[in-house]
Structure 1
């Protein structure tokens, strides 16, 4: 069995602050800690997957520039997708029909979730994001990208708010493990790494039982996207993209053809172009 793991950092063991979620360009010791905990959680998921019968595990480093995980620190035999490139799948680059299951490790709750630790959707520029009138976060975007390849979501590792969110749409056979309990955007009740390591491994091993039993998430039948941003200049930028239209000062909408893959690409490009808007 082949397992694809997309790994973010805000939902991993022990992390509660943006200051900890840095990038290789910074040398703050808090980022070094978060990087270590990200590796800790991902390795626990890998061990569980292998114990459950996985013969190949591919990990996508999905936080920031994608250079948080070091291949030398991952479990032997693991393959790592690292860095940034020209692909359109973002946090799910490399997923395809060749995988049997997908895991999301270190993810977080969507923007606006009460007491969700570092809750956001892709970036702080996104206030809210809807697909066909239903509010979505990063977890569902990633899970649906896997579903477009026929790959079921089998495991979510996050804080309690992120896990609860995933269970509202993730299906009966999806497993989860809570790494910490949110008490505010930058505060949480943390579990010791020894506890989360054992728990993630056990949850990942149990999740392997979904192979061949759990269907991939259903894809949206229509593709209407609505994006509410924090600044009007961000909406200005998105409205210039193909098929995006301004609804009001802070809201843009998209409707197009090509199924969910096209909608996912449209959403990712819109969120990326917002980063170029505030140049004055």
Structure 2
């Protein structure tokens, strides 16, 4: 666990996804090509700002990076962001949803996250892409919460807070039981939830962010030591065929699963990101 450095202000990374934001329940609200997306991105930006404010309530001198971590990574409205934070946006980029992460970061907060693929009744639950059915690391199923949490752990950085629906919070609690989880909605089905009023959610997020950053020294990083065996279940046979073009990737028993070995979690994460991108290619 990293010991806090009292001689310099903390550096905090806030990774913001969209499906777990209060008020959002349907893919039309998170898809740039759909009619309700502008409302979704406004709600996402407001929750990001609430968390930035909470971090700075606890640590007024903190250096806060906000990573836009949904879809195209160009959803947060830059002109509406808290000017005290810096924004990481655009893709492709190293480390994906937690771009900006390194050993100098003191704490990571995952905001607006969703449960992993197959975790019903999680709202818009999936893992990276609709083409990915599951990712298992040494037999343990990990969604975006676990994959990004373990990548932070590779750098020795704790994930101190997560927000999303109650299913996502339960997934996070299993991985990092000493961290802070904020359920801003209660899942009913994949596209339905009982959700807090957005302003109520933001008040809770601000208070929780201050608490989480203040107790970061008491939250251990999520560390998965290598070497690691990674299995990825793909939706389509074509995605499997593309994955097999990557050196070191082979087909596992069952036909839909590919497997590879990684020396450490950073290597595993990079290969998973690559397989997800390959899966976005459609047959010509």
TM class by smaller structure: over 0.9
TM-score (structure 1 length as normaliser) = 0.94
Give the SS at the match of 2:202.
helix
**Equivalent in 205, 209, 232 of residue 214 of structure 2:** 209
Tell me how far apart the structure 1 counterparts of residues 262 and 122 of structure 2 sit (CA, whole Å).
Answer: 32
Tell me how far apart the structure 1 counterparts of residues 17 and 139 of structure 2 sit (CA, whole Å).
Answer: 26
Q: 1:88 to 1:75 in 2, by over 3 A?
A: closer
Whether 1:117 and 2:123 are equivalent positions in the alignment is yes
Q: Does the 8 Å CA contact 1:180/1:190 hold for their aligned counterparts?
A: yes
Q: Does the 8 Å CA contact 2:230/2:262 hold for their aligned counterparts?
A: no
Give the SS at the match of 2:217.
coil
Tell me how far apart the structure 2 counterparts of residues 190 and 107 of structure 1 sit (CA, whole Å).
Answer: 15
Tell me how far apart the structure 2 counterparts of residues 84 and 233 of structure 1 sit (CA, whole Å).
Answer: 24
- Which structure 2 residue ranges, 5 or more long, are not aligned? 1-9
Partner of 1:140: 146
| Two-structure CA RMSD over aligned residues (Å) | 1.3
Whether 1:167 and 2:160 are equivalent positions in the alignment is no
Shift of 1:197: 0.9
TM-score (structure 2 length as normaliser) = 0.93
Q: How does 1:61-80 map to 2 (within 5 A)?
A: 61-80=68-87
Partner of 1:218: 223
Q: After superposition, give the CA deviation of every residue in 1:86-140 in whole Å (9 maximum; x if it has no partner).
A: x331111111111110000011000001110000000100111100001000011
Shift of 1:220: 3.0
Shift of 1:176: 1.1
- State the aligned residue count: 273
Q: Which runs of 4+ in 1 moved over 6 A?
A: none
Q: Does the 8 Å CA contact 2:28/2:35 hold for their aligned counterparts?
A: no
Partner of 1:57: 64
Q: Does the 8 Å CA contact 1:243/1:256 hold for their aligned counterparts?
A: no
Tell me how far apart the structure 1 counterparts of residues 94 and 56 of structure 2 sit (CA, whole Å).
Answer: 29
Partner of 1:11: 20
Tell me how far apart the structure 2 counterparts of residues 152 and 96 of structure 1 sit (CA, whole Å).
Answer: 12
Tell me how far apart the structure 2 counterparts of residues 116 and 170 of structure 1 sit (CA, whole Å).
Answer: 19
Shift of 1:264: 0.9
Partner of 2:257: 251
Tell me how far apart the structure 1 counterparts of residues 262 and 12 of structure 2 sit (CA, whole Å).
Answer: 31
**Equivalent in 260, 266, 272 of residue 265 of structure 2:** 260
